[in-house]
Structure 1
Amino acid sequence: MKPAGPSLVTEKTVELKDAQLRTQAFGDPANPAVLLIMGVMSSMLWWPERFCEELAAQERYVIRYDQRDTGLSTNYPPGEPGYSFSDLCDDAIAVLDGHGIEVAHLVGMSMGGFIAQEAALRHPRRVRTLTLISSSPLGVDGLPSSTEAYEEHAAAAESIDWSDLEAIADFLRRDSAMLAGTRHPHDAEAVNVLIARDMERAPSFVSATNHFMLLSDDKGATLHASRLEVPVLAIHGTSDPLFPIEHGEACTHVVPNAQLHRIAGGGHEIHDRDIDEIVRVIADRAVS
């Protein structure tokens, strides 16, 4: 890999008919485009800046963005999302349109992986490759559920006052610790800074809880990963407590042109010490 260096960083708000999406791009727009799609309740800040910088240094044009109800993008009243899960998939394509990009490599983390898959299935001509980080193949049943410890932790969310920002922050701190792998020590201080930055930046951070309502819908019921025609790379930690490694392995069983890269001891996270490895395998796959 080429050493990472300073990248040109630009910000842009993409205007939709019913929403605005804040985006940030790293690198030269003449390079192959990589669109990053983050998971539930997570703004684009959860894609580490160093990750974006290093991927841009591999001669890629890297775009991250705030999905609806996160960051500086359009937010809706808590409990009243004015959009569907499929709208989030169309939003990914709208971000490409807003940057004048015809085709891109999509990289989805967790729920972002489901969005990326649906976007590729519904807009196949716009997607060159898919990378699914800590995600699961769309429409595949019978895979292992989360670990018992994580399910107990998640169940506690039902008792949280989701209108209380400090209560939400405390839950997110505990959630990040629960999602950590065994390969590296959990960096609680870095997570605290990120959560505080995310909350301070968002005009209505509580609105991000609307994502849970979308997940309870019949998401992508008629779509299946086996219909994906683009090359797929699954990057998955072997200690992921939310989507156990079998979810990543299932991609190679279901998707015709899929590969799996295991992060030994990795959790449901993009750990700073794993960024070099993750960037390398994405750059090797997203080549044109």
Structure 2
Amino acid sequence: MSTRHSVAVDRGALAAETDGDPQRPALLLLHAGIATRRMWDPLIPALAERFFVIRYDTRGFGESTSQAVEFSNRADAIAVLDAVGVASATLIGASRGGTIALDTALEHPSRVRALVLIGSGPGGWDGAIDPAEEAMLDAADAAEEAGEWDRLFELELELWNIGPRRSRDDVDPAFLETARALGRSNRAAFEAQGQCIPVPLDPPAIGRLTEVAVPALVLAGEHDLSFVHDQQRLLAEHLPDVTAARIEAAAHLPSVERPDAVLEVLLSWLAEHAG
């Protein structure tokens, strides 16, 4: 059974929970921007059998709260580890959660044992984006700026969970309902967050990948956006100790869409690198 925590941070509180034995090696899970900590639900039973599993809603998402303030996502991640008494952990991040994980490893290397980056890229990346994908991203950005939340969540569903090279008929309807619910569960936080502004790592991770001193696993879904695959290749080329894998028949949230396939790769890698 999960234990819930409220972690105090500067002018905010992070909703967190833990599973498993605190005496075991720790995993800190960081969710994607189209989800909350609930995206990890399908993986928790298997992970908690072997690890102490920590997850939380980042500031401005899910059940976490924040006043208008500049803040560091890296400092928030460390605050969560401190709150549950963990000196170091393997950080597992999806999408923006992976960017936060990588940044945290660079800023706080003594607190990170290993990295798992799922559908993620380094901060400061400015590579080319397919024009059709860019148009979809621009439409989602416009909906967010206008506060058109229902439109935003449907656009994000099409873009990230179906993907630009699949149709709805190609995707399990039950997964789409779960993905839709994950996105919509951020609505209250989006409406209430005001101007909580994350301060980026400086200098950014894009030019510092060779500084990462821990093993890394980089994963991407087969049907994710093309620039995400470009980012995965970049990470695989420049991180010093890296394993790369592709999750078939999944888009941007493989831990939700194909949890068994993710666990098959993840548990094997963690057994070697996260002990």
Would the TM-score normalized by the shorter structure come out above 0.5? yes
Report what 1:83 is aligned to. 70
For structure 2, which runs of at least 5 residues remain unmatched after alignment? none
Report what 2:253 is aligned to. 269
Query: Is 1:135 equivalent to 2:120 in the alignment?
Result: yes
Provide Cα deviations, 1:70-107, integer angstroms capped at 9, x if missing partner: 1111134xxxx5124xx111111111101100110000
Q: Number of residues paired by the alignment?
A: 268
Q: % of aligned pairs identical?
A: 27
Report what 1:4 is aligned to. none
Gap change, CA 1:227 and 1:42, over 3 Å in 2: same
Query: For the Cα contact (< 8 Å) 2:250–2:257, is it kept in 1?
Result: no
How much does 1:238 deviate? 3.6
Query: Aligned to 1:149, which of 129, 132, 144?
Result: 132
Amino acid at match of 1:149: A
Query: Is 1:126 equivalent to 2:118 in the alignment?
Result: no
Report what 1:221 is aligned to. 203
Gap change, CA 1:210 and 1:276, over 3 Å in 2: farther
Provide Cα deviations, 1:18-38, integer angstroms capped at 9, x if missing partner: 221000212222221110111
| Structure 2 residue matching 1:243: 3-state secondary structure | helix
Query: For the Cα contact (< 8 Å) 1:37–1:113, is it kept in 2?
Result: yes
| Inter-partner Cα distance in structure 1 for 2:195 and 2:32 | 13
| Inter-partner Cα distance in structure 2 for 1:238 and 1:247 | 13
Provide Cα deviations, 1:162-198, integer angstroms capped at 9, x if missing partner: 434333333333334443776x932344433453466
How much does 1:242 deviate? 5.3
Query: For the Cα contact (< 8 Å) 1:9–1:24, is it kept in 2?
Result: yes
Summarize the alignment of residues 134-213 of structure 1 with structure 2, pairs less than 5 Å apart.
134-139=119-124, 143=127, 145-160=128-143, 162-179=146-163, 185-196=170-181, 199=184, 203-207=188-192
Amino acid at match of 2:113: R
* Range with bigger deviation, 124-133 or 31-40: 31-40
Report what 2:243 is aligned to. 259
How much does 1:138 deviate? 4.4
Gap change, CA 1:172 and 1:139, over 3 Å in 2: closer
| Inter-partner Cα distance in structure 2 for 1:172 and 1:208 | 19
When you count helix as a share of all residues, which structure comes out higher?
A: 2
Query: For the Cα contact (< 8 Å) 1:21–1:65, is it kept in 2?
Result: yes
| Structure 2 residue matching 1:279: 3-state secondary structure | helix
| Inter-partner Cα distance in structure 1 for 2:173 and 2:232 | 26
For structure 1, which runs of at least 5 residues remain unmatched after alignment? 1-7
| Structure 2 residue matching 1:21: 3-state secondary structure | strand
| Structure 2 residue matching 1:118: 3-state secondary structure | helix
TM-score by length of 1: 0.80
Query: For the Cα contact (< 8 Å) 2:143–2:149, is it kept in 1?
Result: no
| Inter-partner Cα distance in structure 2 for 1:283 and 1:131 | 11
Report what 1:50 is aligned to. 42
| Inter-partner Cα distance in structure 2 for 1:198 and 1:245 | 23
